[in-house]
Amino acid sequence: MATPRLLYSTVLARSFHSCRSKVSQKWNCMHRIKYSTAVAVAPPLDSYASLSAGNKIRGYTILKVVPVSELNLVSVLLSHDETNAKHLHIARNDKNNAFGVSFRTTPMDDTGVPHILEHIALCGSTKYPVRDPFFKMINRSLSTFMNAMTASDWTLYPFSSQNKKDFTNLMSVYLDAAFNPLLQERDFRQEGWRLEHKDHNDPSSPIIYKGVVFNEMKGVFSSQHAIFQEAVQNNLLPSHTYGVCSGGLPLAIPDLTWQALREFHSNHYHPSNSRFITYGDQPLEDHLDIIENSVLKHYNKLEQDTSVPLQPRWAEPRRVKVSCRHNEMLPDSSKQTTVAVSYLLTDVTDVYESSVLSLISSLLVNSETAPFYHSLIESNLGSGFAPVCGYENSTRDTWFSVGLEGIAEDSVEQVLNIIDETFKKVANEGFPQERVDALLSQIELSTKHQTSNFGLSLMMSLNTMWNHDADPTVGLQVNEIISRFKKEMAANPQYLQEYVKKYFIENTHKLTVEMSPDEHYEEKQQELEAAKLKSMVDRLTAADREEIFTQGKVLAKAQMEEEDLSCLPTILKTDLDTVGVKTRVDTTTLDGVEVQLCEQPTNEVVYFNLLTDMADLPSHLKPFVPLFCSVATKMGAGGLDYKQQSQRIARYTGGLSLSHHISSSPSDLDMVLQAIHLQSFCLKENITPMFELWADIFNNIRLEDVGRLSMLLKMSVADLVNSVSHSGHQYAMRHSASNLSEANRLKEVLSGVTQISFLKTLSENDNQDRIASYLKDIAQHVLNKNSLKCSINAESSAIDQVSSQLHSFLGSLSGAAECPPTHTQLSSTENLKPKSKTHFSMDFSVNYAGMSVPTVEYLHEDFAPLRAMASLLRNKFLHREIREKGGAYGGGATGDAAGQMSFYSYRDPNSLKTVETMCSSADWISSSNFTQQDVDEAILTIFQKIDSPVAPGARGQGLFLSGVTDDMKQLHRDRLLSVDVQQIKSVSERYLKEPTVQGISLIGPENEEITADSEWTISGREPCCQLPSLS
């Protein structure tokens, strides 16, 4: 199954989901199982062999016990006898245990009630009556994941942890939050929405809207993609809950009352409407006992129908047109229209039918060999697939969408005709067998590929189908689904074509959505908000106004109060392992190239990494490196054109990728590793074709097709531009750090707003041949053996075979191995400004702020207290000031990157006020009476990261990529464990108090106060570096 497309979570920093790629990669449950655990051992069958359907256990009846050998797990499905609560336990030898409780939540209006409830449920409960125990548990825990999230029809409260004590602590907090929340009006006003004076201390200041979710959703709908996605779902499934926005429309959120929210909780957050998932190596009985004693024994069965009916099918297709804001960052202002056609398909509870449709959807749109890639992308009518593209199975009725964005408005009908003709062609000709085989190969590889949080991924994958009462154990049985699919294909050569005819050619439940920009869109939205606000304010009596002023003062006071948190469970610093996990690696030389070998339980998969040095690359070529990395595996190589290359990559590997890699030496910030990082993985039986693909790229990459290059460039620009509304805080931080050092300047050039601006300029340039020649120059510099190093992670039985094939690959490369990529002095290209303030004025409703100051290298004795100080500031000061009081969705500081400390805010209604808060951090450190316990809790949040599970294929990569050894990690660990209050105050004085070098960057709407301030550079008109010209 798939993570829902429209998903809202409580906390930014540890959010599980990310901006989705344009072409949906969802291949139903079978393909989502590509997220595997970091431990691949024999399934824990022994302790579950005695269980069978009908058995009674701890007040539950077992409905099903299903071993799934291909995933090394046993699933147990249960129903609670008294309340009818459902429970799925997935037993697997994985110490990273996961828990989740999910409720079917079906709003019938756009007020965002399930989303706001999700926030407020975590703001205090009967057992833990403190303000915001969720955020306070983040720094009292060793969790590998904590969050809560709202989809279109469910709300999920998940976490995971490797520590048994911590797991029990978190389960207690989560259960009480979900079933016994306080739901105080004060928290509703903070997290949802409220009327409050702009200055809560000044009753004469204007009354405005405030609230975390209110501002979050204004940020969400600053994205053209979000507007389009919501329009498609609302109009394709209009008859029930999918016809409204579960996250909340900003103009509708103020219609929600506290009483309506409490009623929604009582109707939906009940055991009879709940589904529990537990995963990992802890005993099922322990989980059932805790849930029974904490929650279920206090409830009886509730007859409450929250089911979502199937959408009534239409007799005729429909068409909708919506508007959006104009995006000034896109290169062609005349081509900002998006159009897509969506088809309602099947019931998500029919797992096999949904799986087949998911496979067909992948064949239709995924990869350069897909028919819609050929007919739509290669038509050059648009900049890429529409933001809603591919198979969507996060609703009761599944659906498929396909279309283009970045087209001229007068091209809409042409695109629609292409879509119709493509379906007809596929229905007539079918799919080439080699494409079907490649897809099935990727599914096989996905069941063996291992990442670090399998339990959480399973939870997200299975929740949608289970939410509608499908059997979740069926979704785990990948091999059975594939086996049936192969049999059906063998018995009927027209099998897939018949599906295409039924669900696309003959389907009348078909929606066309067209979205075009309106130059006055943002202005109109502001007018509508102002009108709604005026209407509400005009109705206020004098007593109402007095109450609003009083409530504002009360909330502000509550936000500043120190609380007794002794009721909250916690992990202590003494619970931490004093010695970190070490990874054994061996180093050898093959054909003169340094190779790192790491034997790991990789489940028959081989992981390959390569670094090729780019330190000597001429400076005028470096800004082109991201484009080179993006297109290097998509242009063809050797005897393969780009479609043949794409087909072989899909058939034999999990993908080939290139990216730039910039890292400072752990002992010297001025010594910088500049490299291009190549990655791939495959089943060990496919090692030879994987290396053949890389050899073709190294020895004969094809970069001559400027038409193809121009198309890929245009797609890259659109993707990056659209990423700003989702990741604006990252761009703000990166740009703010660009004046701190040459390494940070280079990172901004390669991956910041500077890179977006550069690629936009390239896409507008007619001299594409010159661009191609620059990329060829890069290839000549880096695609050789002169300065390489490689790493292999594989099972011990495969090491010799892989080494032999790697030796052959290296022997085929041009050049002579001289020395591996290493940290070298990065020469200065321009004078760094000691202080910079930059405002990127963009047509957003909210702001993203970043501020950075220079610090020290990884091995410096101050790095540990600096990192702890960033965590302390985030937990004790910035969260309160930026989120709770300021109303931003997120805000904090990070000291994880050596050489800098960065501050950020995300979807923030404030701008300069937030910057002032960041700048006052040193004053807070010096004046606050924070304790050693506060410092220890800050350290715990760091250990969540440094002790997080690492997949077998990724172990040893810290050493390979950055030169950080296990001994260095242990030294840093020792220093972290010894950080105290005085060290925090000391480093604050040295690095935060009146820094001589500082960068501040702000991304957001036009700001008159900033424009009038000569210290600010507006809209990046003075870039942080000089970029090359194509003239």
Q: Could you tell me if 319 and 439 are in contact, meaning their C-beta atoms sit under 8 angstroms apart?
A: no
| DSSP helix/strand/coil, 280 | strand
Q: What is the 3-state secondary structure (H, E, C) of 286-346?
A: HHHHHHHHHCHHHCCCCCCCCCCCCCCCCCCCEEEEEEEECCCCCCCCCCCEEEEEEEEEE
Q: What is the 3-state secondary structure (H, E, C) of 18-29?
A: CCCCCCCCCCHH
d(CA 682, CA 441): 10
Closest to 892 measured CA to CA, from 850, 864, 939, 930: 850
Q: Could you tell me if 1011 and 833 are in contact, meaning their C-beta atoms sit under 8 angstroms apart?
A: no
Q: Could you tell me if 701 and 772 are in contact, meaning their C-beta atoms sit under 8 angstroms apart?
A: no
Active-site annotation holder among 118, 368, 884, 937: 118
Closest to 111 measured CA to CA, from 257, 237, 272, 226: 257
DSSP assignment of 251-278, as one string? Answer: TTGGG--HHHHHHHHHHHSSGGGEEEEE
Q: Is 118 a catalytic residue?
A: yes
d(CA 480, CA 412): 42
Which residues, including other chains, have CB under 8 Å from residue 110's CB and lie 6 or more apart?
Answer: 244, 245, 248, 249, 252, 253
Across the strands, what pairs with 280? 91
Q: Could you tell me if 435 and 75 are in contact, meaning their C-beta atoms sit under 8 angstroms apart?
A: no
In 10 A of CB 797, how many CB atoms? Answer: 10
Torsion angles phi and psi, residue 491, rounded to 5: -80, -25
d(CA 694, CA 710): 23
The two counts, helices (H) then strands (E), for the chain are 35, 31
Going from the C-alpha of 541 to that of each of 206, 256, 272, 545, the distances in angstroms are: 15, 20, 43, 6
d(CA 866, CA 885): 25
Which residues, including other chains, have CB under 8 Å from residue 939's CB and lie 6 or more apart?
Answer: 573, 868, 871, 976, 977, 979
Q: Report the Cα 91 to chain-centroid distance in Å.
A: 26
Q: Could you tell me if 57 and 248 are in contact, meaning their C-beta atoms sit under 8 angstroms apart?
A: no
d(CA 838, CA 736): 8
For 158-189, b/e burial (b = at least 16 CB within 10 A) is: bbbbbbeebbbbbbbbbbbbbbbbbbbbbbbb
d(CA 774, CA 118): 51
Q: Report the Cα 567 to chain-centroid distance in Å.
A: 33
Element (H, E) at 163: none
Place of tokens 């990065």: 826
Q: Where are the beta strands (DSSP E) in 326-386?
A: 337-347, 384-385
854: DSSP letter: E
| DSSP helix/strand/coil, 893 | strand
Q: Could you tell me if 828 and 988 are in contact, meaning their C-beta atoms sit under 8 angstroms apart?
A: no
933: DSSP letter: H
Place of tokens 């147990």: 76
- Beta strands at 384-385 and 397-407: parallel, antiparallel or unpaired: antiparallel
d(CA 544, CA 549): 9
Q: Among all residues, which ones are annotated catalytic?
A: 118
